[in-house]
Amino acid sequence: MRSLLIRHTRYGDKTTDILVVDGRFASLSASAGTEADETIDATGTAILPPFYNTHTHAAMSLLRGYADDMPLQRWLNEYIWPYENKMTAADIREGSRLAIREMIQTGTVFFSDMYFEIGETIAVAKEFGIRAAIGVTFVESHSKSQQEEKLDMLRHWGDPTNGLITLTVAPHAIYTVGSNLLVKCAEVARSLGMKLHIHLSETRKEVEDCLREHGTTPVRYLDSLGFLGPDVIAAHVVHVDEEEAAILASRGVTIAHCPCSNLKLASGIFPYRLLHDAGCRITLGTDGDSSNNNLDMREEMKFAALLAKASSGDPEVMPADEALAMATRNGAAAFGIDAGVIQEGKLADALLVRLDDVRMQPCHNLVSNWVYAAGSSCIDTVICNGKILMRRNG
Ligand SMILES: [Zn+2]
């Protein structure tokens, strides 16, 4: 049993000592004299839940700033896909390393990824001790043998990481994967108890092409294939109508809202109120560094809240607490991770945030400061599964 004692941090409205045993919060009010294998002095900090990033392409951090300020299809066809065709496994390892370092430094302890050469990303995630759900990506243009290889990898995933890293089945999108392969992906995921991760209704063009090809919209099309269910993580979901919102809610689909990427690519305005009122579980993702251009989930919270307010004309539509829930416990819950809140018995994932940083003062409301005012430089310590991944002032 390994233990960690966090001394003198602010939890709620009191300063307390927090004991972590075997990767879980054992006590949020440890008594004086408690001892542990490792003790850290957290004076001047507050403890907050860390971030769970539900949509990334980690290795694409190599393409940060490579192509900006153009429409999605041109960006993909003329820049991103040609660049990616030249990327080697070693490049993907370096891109993943850069991304994971960035994620940890900005307070993220989990990411749901979708990319290629996933063995490289898994190796780096393991090395850093971060949680991840790594998508085994399917696109129609891969050969039959490549697809068989991927199916084999899914069937033989032995999880060498004690639950920190899982695999997901990730058909890229309805415009890159045909109906037979989409159905096959859903079958495989369900037979193995894995999540499905897909891009969905990201652009107006995707909807128009789907209408032309399948005579219906992307959400209705996927539902007609039996694809949608509580194991599906749908990234973006920008262009949906009321009935589609109801379908997504009734199927229990989790939405990975990526406000910065949608805004930067001018993909559209996420219909937060529509999806929220329909009862959908909404989480936050950054998308790749190539369309964001960072992986800072704290920025994502602020953009999500501001976008929802501006687009609905209602300043009450997404309070700071709700933005925080989307970035933290909603994402953890979507992936079945028993974390995302600071609570006894939960997995010990946490941030220690400096209260003496200029952006955190005065502190009328901690969550308000964290969502609207702070920067990632306020993060002092990042803890995942009871282990310290980063500590600035230790
Ligand atoms: Zn994406």
Judged by DSSP in three states, 190 sits in helix
**Alpha carbon distance 191, 110 (integer Å):** 24
Same domain, yes or no: 264 and 346: no
**Residues 44-71, mean pLDDT to the nearest whole number:** 95
Which residue stretches of 215-354 are H helix?
A: 218-224, 242-251, 259-264, 272-278, 297-312, 320-327, 329-334
In this structure, what are the phi and psi dihedrals at residue 77, rounded to the nearest 5 degrees?
A: -65, -40
115 CA from centroid of ligand 1 (Å): 9
Q: Which residue has the higher pLDDT, 355 or 74?
A: 355
Same domain, yes or no: 239 and 145: yes
Last residue of a domain, one of 289, 313, 334: 334
Same domain, yes or no: 60 and 201: yes
**Residues 277-284, mean pLDDT to the nearest whole number:** 98
CATH number at residue 257: 3.20.20.140
Tens-place pLDDT, residues 176-200: 999 999 999 999 999 999 999 999 9
Same domain, yes or no: 41 and 72: no
Judged by DSSP in three states, 66 sits in coil
Same domain, yes or no: 148 and 185: yes
Contact 236, 57 (CB under 8 A): no
92 CA from centroid of ligand 1 (Å): 16
Query: How do beta strands 281-284 and 350-354 pair?
Result: unpaired
Last residue of a domain, one of 312, 334, 356: 334
Same domain, yes or no: 175 and 60: yes
Domain of residue 167 covers: 51-334
| pLDDT higher than 90, residue 72 | no
Same domain, yes or no: 250 and 315: yes
pLDDT at residue number 163: 83
pTM: 0.97
169 CA from centroid of ligand 1 (Å): 14
286 CA from centroid of ligand 1 (Å): 8
307 CA from centroid of ligand 1 (Å): 19
Contact 282, 257 (CB under 8 A): yes
Last residue of a domain, one of 317, 334, 351: 334
CATH number at residue 20: 2.30.40.10
| Residue % of the chain over a pLDDT of 90 | 90
206 CA from centroid of ligand 1 (Å): 14
Contact 47, 9 (CB under 8 A): yes
pLDDT at residue number 394: 56
| Residue % of the chain over a pLDDT of 70 | 99
Same domain, yes or no: 386 and 308: no
235 CA from centroid of ligand 1 (Å): 7
Same domain, yes or no: 148 and 227: yes
Same domain, yes or no: 73 and 215: yes
203 CA from centroid of ligand 1 (Å): 12
**Residues 53-76, mean pLDDT to the nearest whole number:** 92
Tens-place pLDDT, residues 81-117: 999 999 999 999 999 999 999 999 999 999 999 999 9
236 CA from centroid of ligand 1 (Å): 8
Same domain, yes or no: 174 and 32: no
Residues in contact with 247: Cβ distance below 8 Å, sequence separation at least 6, in sequence order: 219, 220, 223, 228
pLDDT classification of 31: cutoffs 50, 70, 90: confident
Same domain, yes or no: 239 and 216: yes
**Residues 250-275, mean pLDDT to the nearest whole number:** 96
Q: What is the DSSP letter of 347?
A: B
**Alpha carbon distance 291, 77 (integer Å):** 14
**Residues 278-282, mean pLDDT to the nearest whole number:** 97
Contact 179, 138 (CB under 8 A): no
* Among the listed residues 265, 205, 197, 262, the one whose alpha carbon sits nearest the alpha carbon of residue 234: 197
57 CA from centroid of ligand 1 (Å): 6
How many domains, in total, are found in the chain?
A: 2
Beta bridge partners of 47: 352
| pLDDT higher than 80, residue 161 | no
Q: What is the DSSP letter of 376?
A: G
176 CA from centroid of ligand 1 (Å): 13
Q: Which two tokens stand for residue 280?
A: 């959908």
282 CB burial (10 A radius; 0-12, 13-18, 19+): buried
